[in-house]
Amino acid sequence: MQSDQPHIALLPSAGMGHLTPFLRLATLLVRRHCRVTLITTHPTVSLSESRLVSRFLSAFPQVTQLPFHLLPLDPSTANSTDPFYLQFETIRRSAHLLSPLLATLSPPLHALISDVSLISSVIPVAETLHLPNYLLFTSSARMFAFFSYFPTFASKSGDDPATFGDVKIPGLTPIPRSSFPPLLLIPDNLFGKIFREDGCEVNKLNGFLVNTFEGLEAESLETLNGGKVLKGLPSVFPVGPFPPCEFERGDCGDQLKWLDEQPAGSVVYVSFGSRTAMSRDQIREVGDGLIKSGCRFLWVVKDKKVDKEEEEGLDEVVGLELMERMKAKGLVVKKWVDQPQILGHSSVGGFVSHCGWNSVIEAAWHGVPILAWPQIGDQKINAELVEASGLGIWVTSWGWAEEVVVKGDEIGERIREMMGSELLRGQAARIREEARKAFGDGGSVGITFKQLIEEWKA
Ligand code: BUP
C-alpha cells in the first residue's frame, strides 16, 4: 500500500441494489491503490447481502471491515412496513455511533462515501470529524436530478402531493407525475420523509458519484453540472459503468450449461430485481406470456420482498401445470442467480427488466436490449431513460406492480417485438461500445477517478 494514497470509508445502505454498487466501487478504489474501509451494518435485511459482503471481504483481505452494530428500531415509530426502508431508518437512527468508530481508524480517513438514504444522518458525523463527505448515488443521473430538484419543486407546489404536476427541470425532458416514486404522492410515509429530508441537504456534501456515463446520460450530467438543477450543487462525477466483479460470481453452472445449449441471441432473460415481490396472478401471466412469445427464456421468479421468506417452491408459486408447459422452451428458477454472467452469455438476446439501475447498467455493459417493466420506486424514471437512450422499449400502460395485472397475450407480444428488433440490437450494441470506451484506457472512468483521488489527497 502506497502511503500517499487516500483512505476512504464506504457506508452502504440496505438492499442488494445499494450494496452491489458500493462493493464494485470499493473494488475500483482498491485497484487504484486507495486504502478502503468498508462499514458493514449488522444485522442485514437479506441473506444475499451478508453473503456478498463475506465474498467481497475474502476476495479483498486488504480492505478493513468496520462492523457497525445497529440500534434496535421500534417499527411502530417509523411509518413503514417495508423491511428495506425500515433498515434505512435504523441506520439513520444509529448513525451517531459512527463518529467514535471512524475516529479510531488509522491512518485517518480522507473521505467518507455513503448512501443516498443516509445523507442527513451522516452530515453531523462528517462535520464532527472534519471529513469530506461524498455520496454514491445508486440510481441514474436522471433520478439524481429529480431527487435534488424535488424539494424546490415540492415547495413551489405548496408541499401538497395532491397538487403535484410534472417536474420540469431546465435542460431535461420533463418527468411526468406518473413516473414519480408512488410513495412521494402519498402523505406521511417513511420513504417520502427520508427523500425530502435528504434532498434538502445535498448542497452540504462535497460531491456525488454516479454509476453512469456520458454515452448513456449526457443530458442529465450536463444539466446537473451546469447548475440547472440546483444553484451551488457540488460536482456530479460519472464514475460508471461499474463492471461486474469476480467476487460476485455465484454458482450458476446449471443455468450456464442450459444457456450453452441455446442458439446465439435466442434467449430472453426475465428478472424483476432483488426486492420486487410479484403477485401470484401476475407471475402466472408472465409465464403464460413467455410461452406465447415463442422465445426461449430464463426466468427468475420472486414472490417475497426478502429472500429469507422465500419458502415455497416453484410448483406452488407458478403452478404445476404452467411449469410443465414451460419446460419445452424455458428454464425457470427461484433462487439467486449470477445475473451479470447470464447477461454476458452469447445466447441471451433480450432482458425483461424492472429497470433497477444496476440491472440497466449491466444490460448496457453487455449490450442487451431491455423490455422495461418498472415495478416500484425510481424504476419508471430509469425506464424513461432506457427508452430515450435506445437501449430498450417501455410499455407505459403497464403501470406499477400493484396497479394492474398485465395479461400474458400482451407480454408475449412485446417480448417478440423486443427479441425481433434489429434496430434495438444495433442501439444496444452501440451503447455497449460507449460503456466499454468509458471504462477502457483513456476513458472517462479513469479520468474521473484520477480527479477524485487528487481531490481526496489535497
Ligand atoms: Br434477483 C437478482 N441475481 O438473482 P438492481 C439480482 N442480482 O445477481 P433491485 C443477481 O442484484 P433497487 C439475482 O445483477 C443487480 O446487480 C443484479 O440491483 C443482482 O435492482 C442487483 O437492478 C439488483 O438495482 O434494487 O434489486 O430492485 O431497487 O435498490 O434498485
Of residues 133, 137, 130, 117, the one with CA closest to residue 236:
137
Question: Which cell goes with 180?
Answer: 414519480
Instruction: Verify whether ligand 1 is closer than 6 Å to residue 443 (CB atom).
Output: no
Residue to substitute in 13, 16, 378, 400 for testing ligand 1 pocket (most ligand atoms within 8 angstroms of CB)? 16
8 Å CB contact between 26 and 60: yes
Backbone conformation region of residue 63, classed left if phi is above 0, alpha if psi is from -120 to 50, else beta: beta
- Give the whole-angstrom CA distance, residue 110 versus residue 386: 36
The pLDDT score that the predictor gives to residue 1 is: 46
Taking the chain, what is the end-to-end CA distance rounded to the nearest angstrom?
A: 18
- Give the whole-angstrom CA distance, residue 242 versus residue 362: 8
Among protein residues, the one with the nearest Cα to ligand 1's atom 26 is 274
> Which helix (H) or strand (E) covers residue 76, if one does?
none
The pLDDT score that the predictor gives to residue 325 is: 95
Instruction: Verify whether ligand 1 is closer than 6 Å to residue 340 (CB atom).
Output: yes
Of residues 25, 35, 87, 86, the one with CA closest to residue 65:
35
Instruction: Verify whether ligand 1 is closer than 6 Å to residue 137 (CB atom).
Output: no
- How far does the centroid of ligand 1 lie from the alpha carbon of residue 359, in Å? 6
Instruction: Verify whether ligand 1 is closer than 6 Å to residue 271 (CB atom).
Output: yes
SS3 406: coil
The pLDDT score that the predictor gives to residue 100 is: 96
Residues marked as catalytic: 18, 115
Q: What DSSP character marks residue 401?
A: T
8 Å CB contact between 53 and 40: yes
Q: Looking at this predicted complex, what is its ipTM?
A: 0.98
Q: What is the pLDDT along the chain (458 residues), one digit of tens a residue?
A: 455 799 999 999 999 999 999 999 999 999 999 999 999 999 999 999 999 999 999 999 999 999 999 999 988 999 999 999 999 999 999 999 999 999 999 999 999 999 999 999 999 999 999 999 999 999 999 999 999 999 999 999 888 899 999 999 989 999 999 999 999 999 899 999 999 999 999 999 999 999 999 999 999 999 999 999 999 999 999 999 999 999 999 888 899 999 999 999 999 999 999 988 899 999 999 999 999 999 999 999 998 887 877 778 899 999 999 999 999 999 999 999 999 999 999 999 999 999 999 999 999 999 999 999 999 999 999 999 999 999 999 999 998 988 889 999 999 999 999 999 999 999 999 999 999 999 999 999 999 999 999 999 98
